[in-house]
Amino acid sequence: MSDLHTQMPQFPEPYWRDLDLPIYNKLIEDTQVDVAIVGGGITGITTGYLLAKEGVKVALIEAGRILNGTTGHTTAKITAQHGLIYDELISHFGEEKAKLYYEASEDALQFIRSTIQTNKIECDFSDQDAIIYAESDQYASKVQNEADAYQKLGINGSVIDSIPFDIAIKTGLTMHKQAQFHPLKYLRELVKLFIEAGGTVYENTTAVDIEDGPNPKVLLRSGKKISCNHLVAASHYPFCDKKGLFFARMYVERAYILGLKTKKAFPGGMYISADTPTRSLRSTPIDGEDLVLVSGEGHKTGQGIDTMKHYRNLESFAEEVLGIQEYMYRWSAQDIYTLDKVPYIGPITDEQQKVLIATGYRKWGMTNGTAAAILLKDYIMNKENKYKELFTTSRFHSDPEIKKFISVNADVAKHLIKGKLEFVPKEPGELENDEGAVVMVDGQRAGAYKDHDGQLHLVDTTCTHLGCEVEWNHGERTWDCPCHGSRYSYDGEVFNGPATKPLKKLDM
Ligand SMILES: Cc1cc2nc3c(=O)[nH]c(=O)nc-3n(C[C@H](O)[C@H](O)[C@H](O)COP(=O)(O)OP(=O)(O)OC[C@H]3O[C@@H](n4cnc5c(N)ncnc54)[C@H](O)[C@@H]3O)c2cc1C
Ligand code: FES
């Protein structure tokens, strides 16, 4: 295993980003549009595409480069099989809403399928079965309950007793005729169509706040403003809370992906374990061969301790199941969970109907993000949509949520306090090249990273969102916040919100 480990790529790079993407200008002057969309991932781009097609004047702004958020780091299975969910949805929301959830995902899959066909988009799209399997008795009974839920909801699925790998499963459940694709090849074309229909994309343009009024204004870090009739926060984590208390009712989980050429041929299909830690498998074509994507090892952001350990665990699994021939890629990413597992899509609060959000996809954003875009378009065009109530952001008071609400916030409070009190005795001078750690400088806690050339980068470890202490993630060379998942580069620039301001740089 140690031999293999030395072959693992040193720096994380997602396979999907190995693609030519145009560069778009920064927004440099105050602007007025019908709809401003913040965030260039699957949600923002699909919403922009749909609205521009209707003749709406849309500006899409992106803090960095488009398609470099979670959408650029996904596994890109397009499926309504969102792990084990339907049995739980039936007991929490009832059969009718559980079925609606399924239909929203199936509609999204059909939307992607037909958009690809109509526009002849080359994006390695293929039909695949989605399979969830259990290795333990405990999870076998959960899979069985899920199979019962499929029956009740009329989902096209079947129970299986083996999968084509050396994994002894107790049982499994297939959802038929799902799909997979190359998400960036697909979305690159949607951006093109968006621009052809009159839409504008601005990169390196960060939204920091919203000014209320009859027409909301997006305030940018540059000091400029966008006035609009509707604002869509498709920024993954809403970049502005507007008293919606989203930071208290959502949490963020990271997961890890290896892109490998394997000794054994990949048999087709998309697999996920029901047992934890999660193991997920799919393949994607690369130069006439298969690149196998092995993913899993989810944990709350900033709480992964040794992040390289997660890659090594995936490596052991891949070696056992398929044999590793060559390492091609490794990367990791994070997604947002709501407390009841259903995304929030719609007006940010009952009082503010012109600001819309879409978030909380629980690692199923290819379908959830697409479903969100269709729903957001209908909100803005004032059209009926049967999914409005299911995804409403005001469904806050149901009891299972409240219990977890308390525990999520207890967890945040624990990190706020622990981070502040922790004493880390390392001195910056003790760091090796390419090592990061929390250190003490003049009696103060600071985040230090010594780069490959021996240059030291010091930052204030206080997260600029709500003040938790960030922690070093060696796997990605980033500072990660355990409270709501903000992530910063080693010298403090924001990689992932909700934070919008960089960590303060410190001098030695
Ligand atoms: C490891 C992993 C595997 C996954 N696998 C799957 C899968 O197989 N199938 C599936 O359906 N889903 C999967 N998902 C989930 C899916 O990838 C995400 O849910 C989805 O990509 C989220 O899309 P988004 O548009 O909401 O966010 P993003 O793609 O993150 O886009 C949001 C954008 O907003 C920008 N932004 C943020 N703040 C601001 C600001 N203040 N101003 C301007 N711009 C801003 C960001 O830079 C970013 O580009 C996976 C997720 C992970 C983490
Ligand atoms: S992300 Fe909220 S405090 Fe850091």
At 410 the pLDDT is: 64
Give me the torsion for CA of 410, 415, 421, 422, rounded to 10°: 140
Residue type, 375: L
At 476 the pLDDT is: 87
Q: How far is the CA of 71 from the centre of ligand 1 (A)?
A: 4
Q: How far is the CA of 53 from the centre of ligand 1 (A)?
A: 23
Cα 189 to Cα 20: distance, rounded to the nearest angstrom? 12
Q: Residue 74: which pLDDT band, with cuts at 50, 70 and 90?
A: very high
From the CA of 470, which ligand is nearest? 2
Cα 107 to Cα 361: distance, rounded to the nearest angstrom? 16
Query: In ligand 1, which atom is closest to the CA atom of 206?
Result: 42
pLDDT above 90 (res 299): no
pLDDT above 50 (res 399): no
| Residue closest by Cα to atom 2 of ligand 2 | 484
Cβ atoms of 65 and 260 closer than 8 Å = no
pLDDT above 70 (res 401): no
Phi, psi of 258 (to 5 degrees): -110, 140
**462-64-48 Cα angle (round to 5):** 125
Q: How far is the CA of 129 from the centre of ligand 1 (A)?
A: 24
More confident residue, 20 or 100: 100
Classify 490 in phi/psi space as left (phi over 0), alpha (psi -120 to 50) or beta.
alpha
Nearest to 99 by CA among 111, 89, 107: 89
Structure tokens at 505: 């740089």
Pocket flag, ligand 2, residue 494 (CB < 6 Å): no
At 485 the pLDDT is: 86
Pocket flag, ligand 2, residue 475 (CB < 6 Å): no
Helix, strand, coil share (%) of the chain residues, nearest 5 = 30, 30, 40
| Residue closest by Cα to atom 1 of ligand 2 | 484
Output the furthest CA–CA distance in the chain (Å, rounded).
65
3-class secondary structure per residue, 276-337: CCCEEEEEEEECCEEEEEEEEEEEECCCCCCHHHHHHHHHHHHHHHCCEEEEEEEEEEEEEE
From the CA of 222, which ligand is nearest? 1
Cα 43 to Cα 365: distance, rounded to the nearest angstrom? 8
CB atoms within 10 A of CB 490: 21
Determine what percent of the chain is predicted with pLDDT higher than 90: 74
Q: How far is the CA of 39 from the centre of ligand 1 (A)?
A: 9
Structure tokens at 434: 């390419």
Cα 463 to Cα 471: distance, rounded to the nearest angstrom? 10
| Residue closest by Cα to atom 51 of ligand 1 | 363
User: For 264-282, what is each residue's pLDDT tens digit?
Assistant: 999 999 999 999 999 999 9
Mean pLDDT of 387-407: 72
Nearest to 285 by CA among 126, 58, 50, 463: 126
Mean pLDDT of 464-477: 87
> Best mutation site among 46, 60, 74 for ligand 1, i.e. most ligand atoms within 8 A of its Cβ?
74
> Best mutation site among 420, 464, 486, 503 for ligand 2, i.e. most ligand atoms within 8 A of its Cβ?
486
Instruction: For residue 158, give the DSSP letter.
Output: E
242 has which bridge partners?
none
Cα 402 to Cα 410: distance, rounded to the nearest angstrom? 12
Asked if residue 277 has a cis previous peptide bond (ω within 30° of 0), the answer is yes
User: For 208-250, what is each residue's pLDDT tens digit?
Assistant: 999 988 899 999 999 999 999 999 999 999 998 888 888 888 8
Q: How far is the CA of 362 from the centre of ligand 1 (A)?
A: 10
Ligand 1 pocket (Cβ < 6 Å) reads 38-44, 61-64, 68-71, 74-77, 206-207, 234-236, 239, 255, 257, 295, 333-335, 361, 363-367, 369, 497, 500
Mean pLDDT of 387-408: 72
Nearest to 255 by CA among 131, 73, 444: 73
